Structure 1
Amino acid sequence: MEKGKYRAVILLFIVGYFFITVFNILPPKTNWVSPKPKPALPPLLTSQQSITPLPNTKHFLVSSFMDRRVEGFDIRIIGIFRRDSIHPLHCIFFCAGFYSETTSASVLLHSDHYGFPFGATDVLCRIPENCDATHVTLLTQPSPVNVSDHLWLPIRNKKTPSKENRLNFTVCISNLYGDYNNVLQFAQTLEMYKLLGVNRVVIYNTSCGPELDRLLKIYSQEGFVEMVQWPIDKYLNPSRGWRVRVHKGDLQYFGQIVTLNECIYRSMERSRYVLLNDIDEIIMPYKHDNLNVLMDSLQPLHSNVAEFLIESHIFPKKYFEPSGRFHLPQWSNVPGINILEHIYREDPDRKKFLHYKMIVQPKLVQQTSVHEVLKKYGKRYKVPWDLCRFIHVHVARRTSLKLEELNEDKRLWDFQEKLIPNVDKALERAGLLATED
C-alpha cells in the first residue's frame, strides 16, 4: 500500500509537469532589469560676469531678481538693450533639476536714455507652475535649442533676510571710470558715511587709479564696500557725459542708469533705505546727528513716500578755508581733494533746473533715473534744504558768483574729531599715509 501511494504521487507530478511544459501554463520567464537612470543634465553654465551678452541679439543681461509686484510676473531681469532692435523674447528657467517650458517675456525700455542707442531695460518673466526656479535666461525662439549652452543668471532676492540682518542705509555709487583716483576725498566720504549711519556702499567699477584700488580693497575686506566689476567698455563705447550730440557713444555715462537700478534691486530685500548719489557727494543732515535720526523723524509723516528728494549744493573746490587749519601734513602725498578745506557753498539757482539726488525706499521703486524715480508705488517728498542737503565739493556750477556771494558752511567740521583719525587709519591700512622721517 505504501509503495502504491508513492507511485501515485510520482505519477501525478510527472503528468502535471507534462501539462505545464506542453501547454505553457507557467508565466513567461522574465529577466529583471533595473530601470535605466535618466540622463544627467550637463552642468549649468552660470554667468560669472556683471554683463552677459544675449546670443543672437544686440542686448546684454545684467542680473535677475524675484519681483512679484507686477501682476502676472515673478522675475525682473535688468538689462542693456539696443533700443532700435527689440524683438520678441522668451523666458526659460532652470527648475532645480530640469529646464522649464518657455514663457513670453515683457520688455520695458526705460524712458530716460538721453537719446543714446542703448538704454536701461527691464524684462519681466513668469515662472511656470511646478518650477522651483533658481536660474533664468532669455531665448529668441519659443522652442528651446541647446539651452545648456546658454549662460544663466542666478535669481536673487529669493530669501528675505531677518530684521536683525537687514541694513538701514545702503549708498549706491553708480560708476568709477577713467582711472578715477581722488583717494583723499573718497576716504573722507566713506568715513563720513560711517559716522552718519550708513551700513554699506556699493560701487560699480570700470576703472580706477592704483592708489584708489588699494583703498577699495581695504574697505571691501572689512565688508563696508561691495565692489561690482563693471567692464562696460569691453562691450560698448560708453559715453563720458549725458548729451549724446556732445559726448557721443553707445550708452550714457558708462551705464549710470543701469547700475543705479541694479543697485536698488540688489538692495531691495536687505536695506531699508538706499541713497543714490555720486562718489564725491555726501548727504548731510543739518538738524540731526545722523541719517537714522533724520529718517525716523520723517518716516511717521511720510510712510508712503518712495523717494525723498535732496537738494545738491556745490562747494566750489577752487575756494579754500583761509586759515589752512585742516591742511594736514600726513595727507600731503595722498592724491585727491580735502573736503574739510572747502567751506563756501553756492545757493542753487532755483529759477533753473534744481539738481536733486535721492533717498529711496527700494521696495516702493520700479525704475529710477539719476535725479528722480521714474516708476514707483509711493509718493515723492522734497526734503527742505535746511533739514538735509548734499555736500558736493566740485567745480563751481554758478561760475558767475564771487567768493563774497557764497555762504560759509562748516557742517563737516562738526565731525572732524572722529573723522580725521578714522581717515588716517584707513589710509594707513592701505599704505597711503605719509610717515614721519
Structure 2
Amino acid sequence: MLVINENRYQYVYFVFSGLVTSAIIILAYISIRTTVHDKFRDDIKIIQSSLTLLKPATSWHYNNSWKHIGNSSRGHEIYSAYFDMRTDVIDTSESIDYTNVPIGSLRIFAILPTMFKDTIQCIVRFDDFTLKYIKAAEVKSMHESHEKPFAAFTIMCPLYVSRNISTVQLPQAVALSYATNRLSSLSPTFIEISYARNMTLMFQQTKPTIAACVGPLQFHYNEALRVAEFVEMYRILGVTHFYFYVMDATDEVKQLLAHYRDIGLADVLSWNIHKELDDVHYGGIVAQYNDCVFRAMVVDNFRYAAVIDFDEIIVPLKHNSLMHYLRQCDEGRTSGFVFRNVFFYKKDSNDTFSIPSHIKNRFLYTQTKVRRTVEIMPAYDRSKCIVNTRAIVEMGNHNVWRSAPGYSDSIVHQTVGLLFHYRDHCINCKAILVVDYTARRFGSLLWDRVDRTCLEVFIENGGICPMS
C-alpha cells in the first residue's frame, strides 16, 4: 500500500514538474519574442525617420467625393485614402521580415455591405502609372452600423520597402479590388492618396491646436445664424480650423461656409454619398468623422480634433478655453477627452435679458437658452470627444472605438467641462430644468463676432444671417 502511494506521489511530482518546466519555457519564449518584436519596432522607426519619402508630383487639392466601386448598381462606394505614418498600428507580430520593413500604411474609407466578407487587394498606382497589388491587412466594418444593410468600412494596406534603400517614391492613387465585384478589377476606381501638405513636417511634433470635425449638413440645412454662432463660439474656445461636409444645405448656408473657406478658416468638402438614407446610418456619419480625424492628422498635422455636431458646444467650466484645458490636463497618452452631455431645448422660452441693444442678430441659442436638464448623462451616452489625432484608429459618434497602442480615453469630470447640446426636439419634454448661465461668459465677444460675420457675408440683407 505504501509503495502504491509513493508511486502516486512520484507521478504527481513528475507531472507537476513537467508543467512548471513547460510554463517556464513558454514564458521565456514569449519574453524573448516580445523583446525581439519591440526591438524590431524600434528599428522600424529609426529606418522610417532616416528615409527620404517623395510625395507624388501630381497636384492634389484634397477635394474628395464619393465614387462608385465597379458596378454602380451594387452600391459600393469609396471616398478617401490617407498615408498613415504610424507603424505601430500595423500588426507585425506574426512574422518579422528583416529584409522588408513597413514605412506606414494606406487607410481607406468606403461604404460596403454590412456583411461584406471578401478579401480585398489594394491596387496602388504610382506617378509613372506602374501598379502594385497589396493584400489588405485589415478590412473592418466600423461600429455603429445600426443594423443597416450598408456600413462604413475602414481598410488598411501596409506599405513595405527594402531596408537597404534610402529614398522611397510614394504612390499617387489607390483602388480596391475584390472577387465579388468583377468590375473593381477590370475597371478599378482610383482615388488620390492624401499626404501631408508639407512633407517636411510629417515627422515633427503636431501643431498644438484644435480642429473641429463637424457632422455632415443634410436635410436642406438652413440655419445660417446657427452656423455663424457655432463657428465664432468655437473660435473663442480655441478652435483654429473647421472641416465641413456638405450633403444638402441652402444657398445661404453654402455662402457662409464659402466665406470661412476663403479666409482660410475652413475646408468645405462634398459629402455626395449615393446611398439612400435608409441604407446607411445617418448619411454615413461614422465614415465622415473618421475621414475628418485622419484629414486633421495626416494633411494638416493638428494635434487635437473636436468631433461634434452643429447643435453641440463643448464648454470648459474651470478654464478660459478648451485649449487652456488641454495644455494643463493632457499628459500625452490620452486618446480622447470625453465630455458628458446636458440638453438645452429649442422649445424652451428665450431669455433675452443679456442681448445688447446694438446687436442685429438677436437670437443666439447659447445666449438665449439658459435652462438645461438637471440630469448629466453618463459618459458615452450622447457624449462627445476632443481627440488626440495620432492616437485614433477608429472614431465613433460618441466615443473612441479603437486607439493606437499605449493610448486610452479619459472622462472629463462634470465640474470641469460639459457638452451643451442645444436640441431642436426634446428627448424628455418633462425633464426638470435648471438655470445655467455658463455660456454667457463668452457673450461679450460672441455677439459682436457673429454680427460682424453676418454683415460681411449678408450685407445685402442688412447684415442679418438667415434662420428658420
TM-score, normalised to structure 1's length?
0.77
Which of the pair is proportionally richer in helix? 2
- In structure 1, stretches of 5+ residues that fail to align are 1-42, 239-248
Counterpart in the other structure of 1:236: 275
Say yes or no: does 1:304 pair with 2:319.
Answer: no
Counterpart in the other structure of 2:426: 396
Kindly state the Cα deviation for residue 213 of structure 1 after the two structures are TM-superposed.
Answer: 1.7
Residue deviations 1:21-63 (CA, integer Å, cap 9, x gap): xxxxxxxxxxxxxxxxxxxxxx999996421111146421111
Residue deviations 1:295-332 (CA, integer Å, cap 9, x gap): 111113xx211111101211122223545432867546
Residue deviations 1:343-382 (CA, integer Å, cap 9, x gap): 1111226589832111111111111211111111211211
Kindly state the Cα deviation for residue 210 of structure 1 after the two structures are TM-superposed.
Answer: 2.4
Q: Which of 149, 158, 170 is the equivalent residue of 1:132?
A: 170
* Distance in 2 separating the partners of 1:328 and 1:389: 30
Percent of aligned pairs sharing the same letter = 21
Q: Which of 256, 262, 270 is the equivalent residue of 2:285?
A: 256
> Structure 1 residues 231 and 426 mapped into 2: Cα distance closer, same or farther (>3 Å)?
same
Q: 1:137 is aligned with what amino acid?
A: A
* Distance in 1 separating the partners of 2:267 and 2:244: 6
Counterpart in the other structure of 1:70: 90
Instruction: Figure out how many residues of one structure are paired with residues of the other and give that number.
Output: 374
Kindly state the Cα deviation for residue 237 of structure 1 after the two structures are TM-superposed.
Answer: 0.2
Aligned residue for 1:268, secondary structure, equals: helix
- In structure 2, stretches of 5+ residues that fail to align are 1-57, 93-103, 162-167
Aligned residue for 1:255, secondary structure, equals: helix
- Tell which deviates more after alignment, 52-61 or 74-83: 52-61
Question: CA-atom RMSD, angstroms?
Answer: 3.1
Asked which structure has the greater CA Rg, the reply is: 1
* Distance in 2 separating the partners of 1:45 and 1:291: 32
Residue deviations 1:109-137 (CA, integer Å, cap 9, x gap): 11321101111111111336476322211
* Distance in 1 separating the partners of 2:319 and 2:263: 27
> Structure 1 residues 208 and 134 mapped into 2: Cα distance closer, same or farther (>3 Å)?
same
Question: Does structure 1 retain, via aligned residues, the 8 Å contact 2:140–2:155?
Answer: yes
Q: Which of 316, 341, 348 is the equivalent residue of 2:345?
A: 316
Counterpart in the other structure of 1:197: 238
* Distance in 2 separating the partners of 1:435 and 1:292: 31
Q: Which of 115, 122, 129 is the equivalent residue of 1:84?
A: 115
Question: Does structure 2 retain, via aligned residues, the 8 Å contact 1:45–1:150?
Answer: no
* Distance in 2 separating the partners of 1:407 and 1:393: 14
- 1:90-169 maps to which residues of 2 (within 5 A)? 90-105=121-136, 106-127=138-159, 129=161, 132-140=170-178, 150-157=188-195, 159=199, 161=201, 166=207, 168-169=209-210
> Structure 1 residues 281 and 87 mapped into 2: Cα distance closer, same or farther (>3 Å)?
same
> Structure 1 residues 419 and 100 mapped into 2: Cα distance closer, same or farther (>3 Å)?
same
Q: 1:199 is aligned with what amino acid?
A: T
Kindly state the Cα deviation for residue 150 of structure 1 after the two structures are TM-superposed.
Answer: 3.6
Question: Does structure 2 retain, via aligned residues, the 8 Å contact 1:176–1:205?
Answer: yes
Q: 1:253 is aligned with what amino acid?
A: Y
Q: 1:161 is aligned with what amino acid?
A: L
Residue deviations 1:52-110 (CA, integer Å, cap 9, x gap): 11114642111111123213572111111112344222112122314233121231111
Counterpart in the other structure of 1:53: 68
- Tell which deviates more after alignment, 132-141 or 217-226: 132-141
Counterpart in the other structure of 2:387: 360
> Structure 1 residues 258 and 353 mapped into 2: Cα distance closer, same or farther (>3 Å)?
closer
Aligned residue for 2:325, secondary structure, equals: helix
Kindly state the Cα deviation for residue 257 of structure 1 after the two structures are TM-superposed.
Answer: 0.6
Q: 1:194 is aligned with what amino acid?
A: R
Aligned residue for 1:138, secondary structure, equals: strand
